Structure 1
């Protein structure tokens, strides 16, 4: 059985012996233009804007109306031929222009502004890593100077472990 769309982006595929293949090909290019390196104006509106510019895109809200009905959560882009939609899939990422941050589709929802990493490198040097254990404060003992020095040593050790200061 021949598929008529790609599994992730839903791009239309050319069929053997298909007439006017350029229509299918152009539709696929329009959807790729919308999905790859995507930037959206906003996340969550339910109604399409009154006068969108060609190339503008939005992430449709949870209760869409008008031309967006049936496309909740999708990336909606305005083209010369009207609205095009890319259904969200796990890991789809967009840049939100107004908020100047990324949104990623994770576990069935758009997550805005969250960055996940095992560690962060700057100039090839790890500056953030896994969270270290908590550092206990001073106990209020009689030898405050020694307690303060011990806590400060633990703070410096944690900063070094996270790569925030040199070892």
Structure 2
């Protein structure tokens, strides 16, 4: 294979006059297959499974053992040719399933969860980290039941959506 690789996923590049180009090409396709729209069986795994199936991958923990030794925090994927390892790059995202959501590689580590602190719609931040609880209206010189009902309905909707904590 070639020593020339792509900068982000370290995919092997073809070199001019290279013999057996199909080896570099097939290796690149195998890595893309693991990373592109990837699904990981688990995050933080330390021990390889006994009977992996081709295409399955795992996000490795900090001290992997056995065939995974020496590849902390990388993505390990099983192929017909054995284990392949991807060194994650900023922005790499793998699905962990409905219960855990996405794993995002950011700041040198994996962030696990369905959300990552902010929601953007058309480039505008709509939702950020949850705000502190807002006290419900009570008392006052003038009691306006209709206004209180509306304020309470807004607060309850915001709490239900996780925008503010419950008081």
TM-score (norm: length of structure 1): 0.76
2: CA distance, partners of 1:134 / 1:108:
32
**Equivalent residue number for residue 21 of structure 1:** 21
**Equivalent residue number for residue 72 of structure 1:** 72
- In the alignment, structure 2 segments of 5+ residues that lack a partner are 162-167
CA RMSD of the aligned region, Å? 3.2
Is 1:152 the counterpart of 2:145? The answer is no
Is 1:138 the counterpart of 2:133? The answer is no
Deviations 1:57-84 (A, max 9, x none): 1001110111111211111100011001
What's the CA shift for 1:133? 8.4
Is 1:107 the counterpart of 2:104? The answer is no
Q: How does 1:36-115 map to 2 (within 5 A)?
A: 36-97=36-97, 99=99, 101-115=101-115
What's the CA shift for 1:156? 4.6
TM-score (norm: length of structure 2): 0.76
2: CA distance, partners of 1:107 / 1:48:
26
2: CA distance, partners of 1:76 / 1:133:
40
2: CA distance, partners of 1:43 / 1:129:
26
SS at match of 2:44: coil
- In the alignment, structure 1 segments of 5+ residues that lack a partner are none
2: CA distance, partners of 1:100 / 1:132:
23
List structure 1 segments (4+ residues) > 2 angstroms apart after TM superposition: 97-100, 116-121, 128-143, 148-161
What's the CA shift for 1:114? 3.9
Bigger radius of gyration among the two: 1
What's the CA shift for 1:39? 0.4
